[in-house]
């Protein structure tokens, strides 16, 4: 594990992809009078995995939501760079994929309908088809089953599968191991290892097993 310290530039890590980066300057968030975090300045660079750690309620999910453009920061700036161009925050959704325990699925859909809906809006990863995705999620037996009847573990595997198998430059995972049994957790780790070395990956978690050993650690407590 590589700790992330407050430096003028990102750590020099192998497999960096300078075409993908998120620059944050003095990033801070406050709810009412309480600062969740403040003064975060760094560059998150493609080819690296960043583990956001800290106690429950410390602001890990809040930071993720700011980084993917859903929640406004109180102070500071977030700038997205892809292929040497700055991407406006209102367009960054086209380049990211997300999996969180609190993300909603459409319970009335079957698995096949959910995949059709999702991949009509977002591109599927190169070399894959919807049938491939069903097979890679080991959910072939549930293709015609309504999602409302999925177990919590099946729903989490589906959320992770949608994130892993969507064509995106930046991947956000919030507590990815939630509701996964040992077999499904091994599946998650295999998919994480298979996404390639060019993506920019964020994993919010207090469980070391959920992120790679070479992940760059950002502890929210360091920015209180």
Interval 26-66: pLDDT, tens: 999 999 989 999 999 999 999 999 999 999 889 999 999 99
Structure tokens at 113: 């309908």
Which structural domain range is residue 92 located in? 2-223
Q: Quick one: how far is CA 59 from the chain centroid?
A: 15
Interval 96-146: pLDDT, tens: 999 999 999 999 999 999 999 999 999 999 999 999 999 999 999 999 999
**pLDDT higher than threshold 70 for residue 8:** no
pLDDT tier for residue 83 given thresholds of 50, 70 and 90: confident
Instruction: Give me the helices (H) in the chain, please.
Output: 60-67, 111-121, 130-136, 152-164, 182-193
DSSP 8-state class, residue 59: S
Domain count of the chain?
Answer: 1
The pLDDT score that the predictor gives to residue 84 is 83
What's 11's domain CATH number?
Answer: 3.40.50.300
DSSP 3-state of 106: coil
How close are the terminal C-alpha atoms of the chain, in Å?
A: 22
Number of residues assigned to the chain: 224
**pLDDT higher than threshold 60 for residue 11:** no
Nearest to 147 by CA among 188, 104, 186, 100: 104
Q: Would you say 202 and 22 are in contact if contact means Cβ atoms under 8 Å apart?
A: no
């Amino acid at each position: 594990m590589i700790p992330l310290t407050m430096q003028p530039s990102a750590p020099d890590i192998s497999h960096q992809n300078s075409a993908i980066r998120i620059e944050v300057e003095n990033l801070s968030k406050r709810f009412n009078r309480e600062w969740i975090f403040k003064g975060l300045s760094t560059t998150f660079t493609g080819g690296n995995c960043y583990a956001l750690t800290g106690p429950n309620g410390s602001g890990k999910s809040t930071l993720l939501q700011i980084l993917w453009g859903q929640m406004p920061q109180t102070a500071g700036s977030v700038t997205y760079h892809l292929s040497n161009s700055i991407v406006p925050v209102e367009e960054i959704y086209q380049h990211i994929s997300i999996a969180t325990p609190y993300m909603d699925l459409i319970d009335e859909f079957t698995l096949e309908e959910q995949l059709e809906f999702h991949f009509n809006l977002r591109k599927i990863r190169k070399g894959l088809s919807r049938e491939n995705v069903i097979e890679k999620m080991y959910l072939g037996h549930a293709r015609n089953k309504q999602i409302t009847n999925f177990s919590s573990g099946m729903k989490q595997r589906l959320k992770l599968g949608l994130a892993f198998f969507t064509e995106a430059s930046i991947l956000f995972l919030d507590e990815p191991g939630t509701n996964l049994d040992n077999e499904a957790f091994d599946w998650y780790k295999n998919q994480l290892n298979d996404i390639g070395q060019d993506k920019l990956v964020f994993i919010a978690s207090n469980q070391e097993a959920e992120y790679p050993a070479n992940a760059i650690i950002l502890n929210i407590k360091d920015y209180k």
